[in-house]
C-alpha cells in the first residue's frame, strides 16, 4: 500500500464522532436531497413517446438524452469534483449542485429544439456530479466505522427509492396534468411533457435551504501537512495507490458498472417495453414500476447494510465483497429473463428480484471504498468508480438497447429481447470479477486494519 502521508505530514488527532442523533439527522437531510435528485434524472423515461413525437427522433437518438447527454458530463465532472470533495467544503458543493441541476431541469421545459434539450440534460449531469462523492464523504466523517455500513445503506436507500419514486411521482404528475397541457402564470401554456419537467425542477429551492442545516464535519482517518492543513494526495500518489491495490479495486470499479448497465437499461426502457409488449400506458405502468423499484431498492439497500455489518462483526474476510458476490449471482439469474416473460405480472416479479439484487450490490460499493481506501483518497476513488459505472451504465446501457432494437431487429416491439441481450453477459462478467477479486481484496483490508491498529 502506498504511503498515506507526504513529507512533513503527521497524523491528525481526531475529535470524537458527533452524537448519533446529529449524524442520523445529516443522513436524513442527504437522503431527502438525493431522493428528489432522482426525479430530475429519471423523468425522461416516462416521456419517451411525447418527446420522440415532438422532435421526430428514433429510439437511439432519444437514448442519448437518457444516457450520454447526462452521463458524459455527470461522470467526467465527477473527477474534478471528487478532488474538491477531498479538499473543500462539501456541504457548499452540494448546495451549488442542487441549484444547477434544478435550474437545468426546469430549462428542459422551454426547449424548442433537440439541441437545447440535449444541452439541458448535460446541465443536469453537471449539477448532480458532485452529490454522491460529497455525501459519502460527509457521512463517513459523521458516523463511526462500526455503524457506517448501516448509515451508508440508509443513505443509499434514497437512490433506490428515488428511482422508483421518480417513476411513481412522474406517473402521478402526468395523471394530474390535463391532456391538453397547463397554463403557468407569467410563463404561458405548457404541453404535458414540458409541464412535467417544470414541476420536477421546482423542489430545488427547498433542497438548497435544507442543506444549510448540515455542518461541514471534521475530516477523519487522515493526515495534516507541515503547514497544518489537510493534505490532498497528488495524482501521482492516487495512481500509485491504485496500481499497488488494483486487485482489490477491480470489484469496486467493475461490479457497480455491470449492475449499472443492467439496472439503467431496465429502468430506462421498462416503460416503453411494457407499453409496446403488453399495451400498458405510461401513467399506469409508471406508478406500478415506481412501487416495485422503490420496494426492491429499499429491501436491497437495508439488506446490504445489515448483512455486511453482520459479516464484519463475525470476522468474515472481505465481508463487504461477499455482499457484492451474492448480488452479482442473483443478477445473473434474472437479467436475461425478466423481459422475456409471457405475462406482465411474471415480468414485473422477476424485474423486482433483479432490482433488489442490483441495489444489494450497489449499496455495498461505497462501504467497500471505506473498507480499503484511505480517507483522503475516498472522494476521488468514488468519483472514479462513478465515472466508470456512469459511462457504462448511464451512458452505454440505454443506447446499447436502442441500437440493438433499431439496427439488429429493426422492430420497436423487440425491445424486450434487446434488454436480455444486453443484461445477461454483462451480469456474468460482474460475477466473475467479484469472485476472482476475493483474495487481493481481503489482503488490502487486512493491511489497512494493521496500519490503523
pLDDT at 213 over 70: yes
Termini Cα distance of the chain:
15
Count CB atoms within 10 A of the CB of residue 282.
23
pLDDT at 225 over 60: no
Helix (H) or strand (E) holding 216: none
The number of residues in the chain equals 453
Query: Angle at the Cα of 228 (from 223 to 234), degrees rounded to 5?
Result: 55
Cell 467493475 -> residue: 254
74: left (phi over 0), alpha (psi -120 to 50) or beta: alpha
Q: pLDDT digit string (tens) for 16-64?
A: 888 888 889 999 999 999 888 877 777 887 788 888 888 888 888 888 8
Distance CA 351, CA 418 (A): 15
Determine the average pLDDT of the residues in 422-440.
94
Domains of the chain, first to last: 17-215+233-452 (1.20.1250.20)
CA–CA distance from 428 to each of 254, 262, 332, 421 (Å)?
12, 11, 6, 12
pLDDT at 415 over 90: yes
Determine the average pLDDT of the residues in 91-115.
90
3-state percent helix, strand, coil for the chain, nearest multiple of 5: 80, 0, 20
pLDDT band with cut points at 50, 70 and 90 for residue 330: very high
Report helix, strand or coil for 214. coil
Look up residue 230 and give its DSSP letter: B
**pLDDT at res. 231:** 57
- Of 283, 372, 383, the residue nearest 80 (C-alpha): 383
Q: pLDDT digit string (tens) for 363-375?
A: 888 888 877 888 7
Q: Is 79 exposed, middle or buried (0-12, 13-18, 19+ CB in 10 A)?
A: middle
Q: What grid cell was written down for 25?
A: 439527522
Distance CA 68, CA 270 (A): 19
**pLDDT at res. 2:** 39
pLDDT at 4 over 50: no
pLDDT at 126 over 90: no
What is the pairing mode between strands 188-190 and 182-184?
Answer: antiparallel
Contact 126, 289 (CB under 8 A): no
Q: pLDDT digit string (tens) for 136-193?
A: 889 988 988 777 777 877 787 787 677 777 777 777 878 888 887 788 887 878 888 8
What is the chain's alpha carbon radius of gyration, rounded to the nearest angstrom? 22
Distance CA 34, CA 139 (A): 13
pLDDT band with cut points at 50, 70 and 90 for residue 77: confident
Helix (H) or strand (E) holding 190: strand 188-190
pLDDT at 420 over 80: yes
Amino acid at each position: 500500500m502506498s504511503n498515506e502521508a507526504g513529507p512533513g505530514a503527521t497524523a491528525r488527532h481526531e475529535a470524537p464522532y458527533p452524537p448519533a442523533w446529529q449524524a442520523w439527522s445529516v443522513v436524513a437531510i442527504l437522503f431527502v436531497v438525493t431522493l428528489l435528485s432522482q426525479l430530475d434524472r429519471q423523468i425522461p423515461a416516462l416521456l419517451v413517446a411525447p418527446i420522440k413525437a415532438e422532435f421526430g427522433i428514433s429510439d437511439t437518438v432519444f437514448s442519448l438524452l437518457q444516457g450520454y447527454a447526462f452521463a458524459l458530463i455527470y461522470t467526467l465532472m465527477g473527477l474534478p469534483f471528487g478532488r474538491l470533495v477531498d479538499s473543500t467544503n462539501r456541504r457548499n458543493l452540494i448546495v451549488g449542485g442542487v441549484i444547477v441541476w434544478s435550474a437545468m431541469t426546469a430549462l428542459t421545459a422551454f426547449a424548442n429544439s433537440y439541441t437545447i434539450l440535449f444541452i439541458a440534460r448535460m446541465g443536469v449531469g453537471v449539477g448532480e456530479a458532485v452529490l454522491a462523492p460529497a455525501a459519502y464523504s460527509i457521512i463517513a466523517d459523521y458516523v463511526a466505522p462500526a455503524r457506517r455500513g448501516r448509515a451508508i445503506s440508509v443513505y443509499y436507500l434514497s437512490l433506490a427509492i428515488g428511482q422508483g419514486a421518480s417513476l411513481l411521482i412522474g406517473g402521478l404528475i402526468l395523471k394530474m396534468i390535463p391532456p391538453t397541457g397547463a397554463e403557468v402564470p407569467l410563463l404561458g401554456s405548457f404541453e404535458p411533457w414540458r409541464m412535467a419537467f417544470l414541476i420536477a425542477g421546482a423542489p430545488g429551492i427547498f433542497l438548497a435551504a435544507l442543506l444549510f442545516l448540515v455542518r461541514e464535519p471534521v475530516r477523519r482517518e487522515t493526515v495534516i501537512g507541515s503547514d497544518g492543513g489537510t493534505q490532498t494526495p497528488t495524482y501521482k500518489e492516487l495512481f500509485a495507490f491504485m496500481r499497488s491495490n488494483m486487485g482489490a479495486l477491480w470489484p469496486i470499479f467493475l461490479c457497480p458498472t455491470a449492475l449499472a448497465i443492467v439496472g439503467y437499461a431496465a429502468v430506462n426502457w421498462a416503460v416503453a417495453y411494457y407499453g409496446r409488449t403488453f399495451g400498458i400506458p405510461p401513467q399506469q405502468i409508471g406508478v406500478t414500476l415506481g412501487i416495485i423499484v422503490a420496494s426492491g431498492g429499499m429491501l436491497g439497500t437495508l439488506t446490504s447494510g445489515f448483512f455486511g455489518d453482520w459479516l464484519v462483526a463475525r470476522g468474515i474476510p472481505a465481508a463487504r465483497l461477499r455482499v457484492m458476490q451474492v448480488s452479482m449471482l442473483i443478477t445473473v439469474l434474472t437479467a436475461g429473463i425478466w423481459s422475456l416473460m409471457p405475462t406482465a405480472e411474471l415480468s414485473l416479479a422477476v424485474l423486482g428480484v433483479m432490482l433488489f439484487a442490483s441495489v444489494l450490490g450497489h449499496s455495498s460499493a461505497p462501504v467497500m471504498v471505506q473498507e480499503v481506501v484511505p480517507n483522503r483518497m475516498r472522494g476521488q476513488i468514488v468519483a472514479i468508480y462513478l465515472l466508470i459505472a456512469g459511462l457504462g451504465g448511464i451512458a452505454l446501457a440505454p443506447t446499447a438497447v436502442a441500437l440493438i432494437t433499431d439496427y439488429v431487429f429493426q422492430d420497436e416491439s423487440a425491445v424486450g429481447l434487446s434488454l436480455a441481450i444486453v443484461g445477461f453477459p454483462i451480469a456474468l462478467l460482474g460475477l466473475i470479477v467479484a469472485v476472482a477479486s476475493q483474495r487481493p481484496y481481503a489482503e488490502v483490508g487486512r493491511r489497512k486494519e494493521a496500519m490503523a491498529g
